[in-house]
């Protein structure tokens, strides 16, 4: 199968308006993925499905990821004049990367027996720009999994035929898989609390055993 | 009441003496019809218990009914999520008296490994009167059979009359329980305090 770079080059030739990046992965498997801007997500996905060399006709998995706001630190060498002598001084530059939500699709080809091609779509932020195009019109199997991502992460899929909660009940408020979700405090007695459970237990009753 | 010693002696002579209560309970204890109702992996063990290898039929409890209207016993086999809890209570309410509940496995007893989660009920006894609890994750079919035998023992010792008579013979005791509603974060109410009170913690 083609490498992500080759796919990217062909995609850019076919769809000049699409912004595509190859996301590297530092882990042992080193699987790279295609990051596509949300606006051209549907067109790129259609290309991947219909292209004669790829024929990615099977969407095996849809996942959500929550990326909260992150402070990135960068060390830059700056020339400074210290005591009349020019010196190179290291300076730490901090930048805030605003958070976003990400949806990951794993695509395979049943016909050509290859894959996966990993496709990533990102939302603008985590509050009001949480829309990405739904790929359910292309791969019907993505329907329930996109509903699950909506249910647990709050990603709005434009063009989804039936976007409702699937695991939690309809009246539920909030998105439980987000990093900043705070579950209701319904702690109950634990015989042997430890770690986070111990911290929660301390709020409710004395955990020190009297000698 | 007939003395146990006299009853024994008469039986040796081929005379069988019993009470209506014993006969009634004996009949009921040996035809417990469970509801075909599984929530998670414990249900796999429940199925195994009813199949040839473990043969639940030996204890008169093999007639798994697909309708709550025909069932005597609800085996809560598996994790009760907060989304499922109102449905479990509603199914229990649809069962005719006399009815019993077995909480099978760690999840049905206490929430099990999911107890600290936001979506799992911390034990089905929050809403239903549990007769027998089976620990295990999941419990072996033998454990389920033991639970059914324990339940049979409980049925055999139920009284037909008097203040401590069986629940289904006492009109003052409720046969239906509160069905919780879905709230914004949790079920409302999060527990039925008429059925369950949090245990007092002593330190």
Between CA A47 and CA A45 the distance in angstroms is 5
Residue A160 lies in a domain: yes
Between CA B95 and CA B109 the distance in angstroms is 21
Residue A209 lies in a domain: no
Report the share of chain B in percent with pLDDT over 90.
58
Cα Dmax for chain B: 69
The CATH number assigned to the domain holding A69 equals 3.30.460.80
Query: Does residue A209 register a pLDDT over 80?
Result: no
Query: Does residue B146 register a pLDDT over 70?
Result: yes
Bridge partners (DSSP) listed for residue A22: A34
**A170 in contact with chain B, both atoms CB, cutoff 8 A:** yes
Residue of B nearest to A170 (CA): B182
Residue A207 lies in a domain: no
Q: Number of structural domains, chain A?
A: 1
Backbone angles phi, psi at A100, to 5 degrees: -155, 170
B65 versus A81: the higher-pLDDT residue is B65
Query: Does residue B164 register a pLDDT over 90?
Result: no
Q: Is the pTM of this model over 0.95?
A: no
Going along chain B from its start, the domains and CATH numbers come out as 33-170 (3.40.50.12280)
Distance from B184 to chain A by nearest Cα, in Å? 5
Residue A211 lies in a domain: no
pLDDT single digits (tens) A72-125: 888 888 877 777 788 788 888 888 889 999 999 999 999 999 989 999 999 988
The confidence score (pLDDT) of residue B33 equals: 93
Distance from B22 to chain A by nearest Cα, in Å? 41
Best CA proximity match to B119, nearest among B94, B95, B83, B150: B83
Residue A172 lies in a domain: yes
Query: Does residue B153 register a pLDDT over 70?
Result: yes
Q: Which residues of B touch A (CB under 8 A)?
A: 82-83, 115-119, 122, 182-186, 190, 198-199, 201, 203
Residue A210 lies in a domain: no
**A173 in contact with chain B, both atoms CB, cutoff 8 A:** yes
The confidence score (pLDDT) of residue B203 equals: 65
ipTM of the complex as predicted: 0.78
Residue A35 lies in a domain: yes
Q: Which structural domain range is residue A145 located in?
A: 4-202
């Amino acid at each position: 199968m083609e490498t992500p770079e080759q796919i990217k080059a062909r995609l850019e030739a076919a769809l000049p308006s699409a912004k595509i990046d190859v996301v590297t992965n530092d882990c042992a498997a080193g699987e790279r993925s295609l990051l596509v801007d949300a606006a051209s997500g549907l067109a790129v996905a259609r290309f991947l499905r219909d292209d004669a060399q790829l024929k990615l006709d099977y969407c095996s998995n849809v996942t959500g990821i929550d990326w909260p706001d992150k402070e990135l630190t960068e060390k830059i060498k700056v020339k400074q004049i210290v005591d009349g002598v020019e010196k190179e001084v290291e300076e730490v530059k901090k930048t805030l990367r605003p958070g976003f939500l990400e949806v990951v699709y794993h695509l395979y080809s049943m016909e050509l027996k290859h894959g996966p091609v990993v496709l990533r779509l990102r939302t603008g932020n985590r509050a009001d720009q949480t829309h990405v195009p739904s790929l359910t019109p292309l791969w019907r199997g993505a329907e329930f999994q996109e509903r699950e991502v909506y249910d647990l992460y709050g990603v709005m899929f434009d063009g989804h035929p039936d976007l409702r909660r699937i695991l939690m009940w309809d009246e539920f408020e909030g998105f439980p898989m987000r990093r900043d979700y705070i579950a209701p405090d319904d702690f109950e007695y634990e015989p042997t609390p430890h770690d986070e459970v111990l911290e929660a237990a301390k709020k409710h009753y004395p955990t020190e055993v009297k000698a | 009441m007939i003395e146990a010693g006299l009853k024994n002696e008469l039986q040796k002579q081929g005379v069988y003496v019993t009470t209506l209560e014993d006969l009634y309970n004996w009949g009921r204890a040996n035809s417990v019809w469970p509801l075909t109702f599984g929530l998670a992996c414990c249900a796999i063990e429940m199925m195994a218990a009813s199949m040839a290898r473990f043969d639940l039929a030996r204890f008169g409890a093999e007639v798994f009914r697909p309708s709550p209207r025909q069932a005597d016993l609800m085996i809560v086999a598996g994790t009760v999520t907060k989304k499922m809890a109102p449905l479990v209570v509603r199914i229990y309410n649809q069962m005719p008296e006399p009815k019993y509940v077995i909480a099978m496995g760690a999840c049905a007893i206490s929430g099990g490994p999911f107890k600290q989660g936001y979506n799992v009920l911390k034990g089905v006894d929050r809403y239903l009167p549990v007769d027998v609890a089976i620990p295990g994750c999941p419990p072996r079919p033998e454990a389920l059979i033991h639970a059914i035998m324990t339940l049979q023992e409980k049925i055999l010792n139920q009284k037909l009359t008097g203040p401590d008579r069986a629940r289904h013979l006492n009109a003052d005791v409720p046969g239906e329980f509160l069905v919780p509603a879905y709230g914004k974060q949790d079920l409302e109410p999060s527990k039925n305090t008429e059925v369950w009170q949090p245990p007092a913690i002593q330190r």
